Structures are given as C-alpha cells and as structure tokens.
Amino acid sequence: MEQKVTETIQQYDMLQKGDTVCIGVSGGKDSVALLHILCHLRQTYALNLCAVHIHHGIRGEQADDDERFVKALCETTGVAFRSFHFDVPALAKSRGISEETCGREVRYEAFESIGADKIATAHTLSDSVETMLFHLARGTGSKGLCGIPPVRGNIIRPLIACTSEEVLTYLTQNAFPYREDETNRSEAYTRNFIRLSVLPLLKQINPSFEQTVLQTMSVLTAQNDYFTAMAKDFVRRNGYRVEKIKALPPALQHETVRYIIEKETGTVPEYKHIKAICFNLQDGAKRQINAGITVRVRRGALEFPKQQAEQPYSFTVNEGTYTLPIGILHACVINCKQFENLSEHLFSFAVDYDTINSNLICRNKRAGDRFFDGKRGVGKSMKKYLNEIGYMPEKRSSFPVFCAGEEILGTLGSVPNKKYAPGQHTKKVLYLYLEEQ
C-alpha cells in the first residue's frame, strides 16, 4: 500500500520538499494508517508533520480515550500533536445545521488554523465510492458522481486510491493499533448503511466494484472538468444573465447553474434543484436549495439573497435621519400644505404630529405584530402585509413599525387610524420615508 500511496502523491503532485503538513488524526484505522505512511515518507520529502485531533464533545469517555490514544501515538512517532475541543451539538444548533455537517466544518476550521502548507485527510477510495453512491441515491449531476477529489486547494488525500480493506491489511501486517468508533457500526447513519449493507451487495455482483467505480469516476471527472471550464468562461463573458443562460444547450445550462450556485454559496446543489431553476428562469422565480440558501431571478439575473441577521432596534423619532439595517429613515416635520404637495413615496408613513406628543417610537417588527391599516380600512398582521407588498424575505425581520406606547400605529407604506392620521384639523405632520440601501 505504501507504494500505491507514493504513486498517488506523485500523480497529483501532493507534496513538495519541506512542506509542513497538518494531518487530521481521529485515531481510527484510516487516519492512523495515513500518519504512519507520512512518517515513512517524512525523510524523503523533508516533511514537518503535525497531527491534529478533534474532540467533538459527543462520545464522552470514548472520545477522551481517542484523544489520549492519538497523543500517545504522536509521542511514539515523533509527530507534533494538537487537540481541539468543540461542543458540536450546541454549535450545530446555533448554526442551524446537522451535527454531521457541523463536525465537518469545525474540523476544517481547526485544520486551517494551524497554517500548514498542506492539510492531509484520510479519505480512501471506499469513502469516495460511498460518497458517489450517496449522491446517486439523492439525485445529482455529473459532479456529484465524481466522488472525493484527490486534491482541493491545499487539502490532499494520499489514501484516495486505497480501499478500506487495503488499509486494514496494512495495519494488521505492521501490527499498528487503532481505535474503533462504535458509531461507525450504526446503520442509522446513511453513509454507514451504504458501507455496511449496500457495498457488500454490489461486490457480490462485481468483487472489484470499487476499482471499477474509480475508473468511471475518472472518466466523469474529465468530462465534468471540461464542462466546468466552459461554464466558467460563459460566466466570465455573460455574468448571471438568465436570457443568456436560457440560450445554452441543456447540458451546459445545467452545469452553468450548478457552477454559479457552488461559486456563490460553496454548496453543491442536488440535481433536482438545478433542474427546477433551469425550468423557471423568469423574473420573480425563486428556489430554496438548502437551509438559509435561496436562488432567485431578479432584474434578469440570478442572485443569492442572504438572510439578514436580526438586529433589534428601538428609538424615539425626532427630525433627522436614522440608519436602519435596511436603509436610511428620514423624518421631518412639515405643514399640511407641504404634506399635500408631496409626491407619494412607496415606503413612507405620516402622522399628525400633535397627537403623538413627540413620542413616536420606531422599532423593528416582532412576531405577532398587528396594526390597523387606514389606507385599506382593515387590521392585519405585519407578516401578511409584508407578503402582500412582496418585501424581500431575508430583510423582513428588520422592517420598521411605528408605535405610540404599546399601540402599533402602522408601518412604511400604510396609513394610521383616524386618531393619528393627518386630517383637516392637522397643523403639523411628522413625515417619514425610507431610502433603501
């Protein structure tokens, strides 16, 4: 196996002499094998090795034992050791993602923090095949069928041509100990189910299934690289204009949309999302492709609105300008004649100045807010109102409401009830309007 790994390193130009290499070491068989092989190559490439272990805060004493095992292994092999502790369940909840995704994110965050020339991870050919089957089952384009790339930026995967069986044989022959993770035997996880139940069945059809899939993935990777190059060139020349995208042949159209989504979000979209977006490239169309990621067509181009984090605010309105998360709010006191001669502004609000006694409060909307819309003569929720005017969902949490004490008088684009609305007896008007950013 050492020879196969050496050939892989040379084929993909993974290492240069004098590189500092951060090795992700969990203590499992794959990462332990990677550590030993890089130690074997340390002198050849004059490598500076550092093993990084991640404690995910999930498996209690077993995780503590893993950490102690890796530390002892590093002492034996003369490799620098670093350990990072994360509360992955809590972080996943705060980030609104799964624990599996969060674990992957914090691992790479820790690896990057080392500042090494290369980050070596222990992904194997078996992992790559599992990934391909996982994407195939969920639905994907050609990129999703290419498996795990041997090199991505400064991330290298020296074991990517080796199967799990080859890794196990290598460890057994050399009597290298490693840790077993009990969760790897649970079929509750999709990837475990593929490894434990699906792959063995496919190997009954073809014992060399993984090597056969490797050949297929290599062909698909070459084809995908070609289409990606064409998509990059198209975007360079045409940007995200949908009329130009619609004129492309279907295969290149799909690849271009996939490339744009991945470029903007770092997410590889499922094929069903790519197909749906390509089917409806019209202004106003939108598609949520992942938690917090939406693609929409606006003003003839694809765009990716980001959910604006809620920034609570509350202040008493006087004459002047106020910076809100969604724009600049202008407030001025004018007489009735000036008010009557104003041209209508989409996002404006006016009250009889004397009825509020200089106590108009502006705050961001909250769940459950309701007001009486004097323009339409009905009461309604802020949620319904913002839906009616088609205001951008990602900015709605920052949209203002205007209050007198606890009473909500209205919002931009509405008219307050008769008590507060400018009328025939009004002397001064407090007029507000929003200059959107």
pLDDT tens by residue, 5-45: 999 999 999 999 999 999 999 999 999 999 999 999 999 99
pLDDT range class, residue 203, cuts 50, 70, 90: very high
- The backbone torsions φ and ψ at residue 417, rounded to the nearest 5 degrees and listed phi first, read -70, 175
Three-state DSSP at 87 gives: coil
User: 368 pLDDT exceeds 70?
Assistant: yes
Please report the pLDDT score of residue 215 as a whole number. 94
Please report the pLDDT score of residue 320 as a whole number. 93
- As beta bridge partners, residue 296 has 286, 303
pLDDT tens by residue, 86-115: 998 888 888 777 888 888 889 999 999 999
pLDDT range class, residue 425, cuts 50, 70, 90: confident
The answer to whether the beta carbons of residues 189 and 38 sit under 8 Å apart is: no
Please report the pLDDT score of residue 390 as a whole number. 74
Helix ranges restricted to H, 140-238: 164-173, 190-193, 199-205, 209-238
Average pLDDT, the chain: 90
Please report the pLDDT score of residue 48 as a whole number. 96
Mean pLDDT of 76-80: 95
Please report the pLDDT score of residue 310 as a whole number. 67
Q: How far is CA 403 from each of CA 314, 347, 351, 408, rounded to the nearest angstrom?
A: 10, 17, 11, 4
Distance CA 130, CA 37 (A): 23
User: 279 pLDDT exceeds 80?
Assistant: yes
User: 183 pLDDT exceeds 80?
Assistant: no
Task: List the one residue out of 172, 120, 165, 171 whose CA is nearest residue 9.
Answer: 120
pLDDT range class, residue 289, cuts 50, 70, 90: confident
Determine if residue 12 is left, alpha or beta; phi over 0 gives left, psi from -120 to 50 gives alpha, anything else beta: alpha
Please report the pLDDT score of residue 159 as a whole number. 97
User: 181 pLDDT exceeds 90?
Assistant: no
Please report the pLDDT score of residue 309 as a whole number. 63
Distance CA 68, CA 260 (A): 44
Mean pLDDT of 325-354: 88
Three-state DSSP at 258 gives: helix
Start-to-end C-alpha separation, the chain:
59
- Across 33-47, 203-217, 227-241, 302-316, least confident range: 302-316
pLDDT tens by residue, 130-175: 999 998 988 777 888 999 999 999 999 999 999 999 999 999 999 9
User: 437 pLDDT exceeds 80?
Assistant: no
DSSP 241: B
Please report the pLDDT score of residue 234 as a whole number. 93
Please report the pLDDT score of residue 285 as a whole number. 85
- By CB atoms closer than 10 A (0-12, 13-18, 19+), residue 379 is exposed
- The backbone torsions φ and ψ at residue 420, rounded to the nearest 5 degrees and listed phi first, read -110, -15
Mean pLDDT of 119-135: 94
User: 313 pLDDT exceeds 70?
Assistant: yes
Please report the pLDDT score of residue 314 as a whole number. 94
Task: Tell which wins on pLDDT, 390 or 190.
Answer: 190
pLDDT tens by residue, 220-232: 999 999 999 999 9
DSSP codes of every residue in 404-429 = ETTEEEEETT----TTTS--TT--EE
- As beta bridge partners, residue 431 has 332, 350
Determine if residue 108 is left, alpha or beta; phi over 0 gives left, psi from -120 to 50 gives alpha, anything else beta: alpha
pLDDT range class, residue 375, cuts 50, 70, 90: confident
pLDDT range class, residue 282, cuts 50, 70, 90: confident
Distance CA 22, CA 123 (A): 14
Please report the pLDDT score of residue 322 as a whole number. 94
